Amino acid sequence: MREITCEQITETVRRLCIEANTYLPGDLCRALEEARAREESPVGQGILQDIVDNYRLAEEKGLPICQDTGVALVFAELGQEVHIVGGGLEEAIDQGVARGYVEGCLRCSMVADPLRRVNTNNNTPAVIHLRVVPGDKLKLTVAPKGGGSENMTSLRMLKPSVTPEEVVRVIVEAVSAAGSNPCPPVVVGVGLGGTAEKALELSKRALLCPVEEPSADPFYADLEARALTGINALGIGPQGLGGTVTALAVHILPHPTHIAGLPCAVSIGCHVTRHGEATL
């Protein structure tokens, strides 16, 4: 049994909160630069150049890429041979979020109650997704999720008889309905199967997939490509001002499901689809 202290967890989450809000993943940077090169609209080209300049300045000056530094989504993969000492896992994560957002001068957007709307002033609590896996390590991924893109999340409980073409249409319709609200060009994560809550979780995990890597399953890679083509044919374009690049990638994560249903969840990541990860 390997011991990991709560202080190690807190410090790692603190660092990841700051880094994820300051540095875009390399694959997303490349995708934005490639999008700028292939965008056909002059206005869209200018917007994409501004987006590229913005993430470069954020990295150079150590500033947030976007003023909305998001809800702190934390994906934890806990090895079953790990013993956490010095407190509880969720408490340690929340302490890391609090330190990261306060010390990093990141905007704190969380309110303690959904109706009474009093700010917690440190961006806690985090939204934590925990998996217990084999091994003696703890992998932590912090993925700040902005409010504009989060508000465009959709869930459809489809009939099990739907065709792949209809699933593609549902994905495209979700992005069409979102329009300019999630700050395109976007990354689209799709959870397909499971139950309603499982599909929604998978759609968030899909946003962590490398932008440049399609599904390893050729069947789903084809659906991703078709959905991406359909989305980019909408003409929404960068920041919703028209163009040929509305989405950078579509990622589909399927899961076994009940014979009577087919949940389909679509989560949209803005052009700042951020995350940082570390393994203890």
**Residues 202/49, Cβ–Cβ less than 8 Å:** no
Q: Which two tokens stand for residue 23?
A: 């540095």
In the prediction, which pLDDT does 90 show?
A: 98
Vertex 92 angle, CA 91 and 94, to 5°: 65
CB atoms within 10 A of CB 134: 8
Report the alpha-carbon distance of residue 177 to residue 120 in Å, rounded.
Answer: 32
Q: For tokens 């989450």, what's the residue?
A: 13
Write down the domain spans for the chain: 2-20+65-145, 148-273
Q: Which of 45, 30, 25 is nearest to 245 (CA)?
A: 45
In the prediction, which pLDDT does 88 show?
A: 97
In the prediction, which pLDDT does 125 show?
A: 98
Task: Look up the CATH architecture of domain 148-273.
Answer: 2-Layer Sandwich (3.30)
Mean pLDDT of the chain: 98
In the prediction, which pLDDT does 167 show?
A: 98
Report the alpha-carbon distance of residue 280 to residue 274 in Å, rounded.
Answer: 20
Stretch (H or E) spanning 72? strand 71-79
Q: Which of 118, 120, 113, 78 is nearest to 98 (CA)?
A: 120
Q: For tokens 């008889």, what's the residue?
A: 161
In the prediction, which pLDDT does 182 show?
A: 98
In the prediction, which pLDDT does 204 show?
A: 98
Amino acid identity, position 184: P
Vertex 139 angle, CA 134 and 141, to 5°: 140
The beta-carbon contacts of 51-56 under 8 Å, at least 24 apart in sequence, are 51/238, 51/271, 55/24, 55/29, 55/272
pLDDT digits (tens, 9 = 90+) for 67-89: 999 999 999 999 999 999 999 99
What value does the mean pLDDT take over residues 121-129?
A: 98
In the prediction, which pLDDT does 132 show?
A: 98
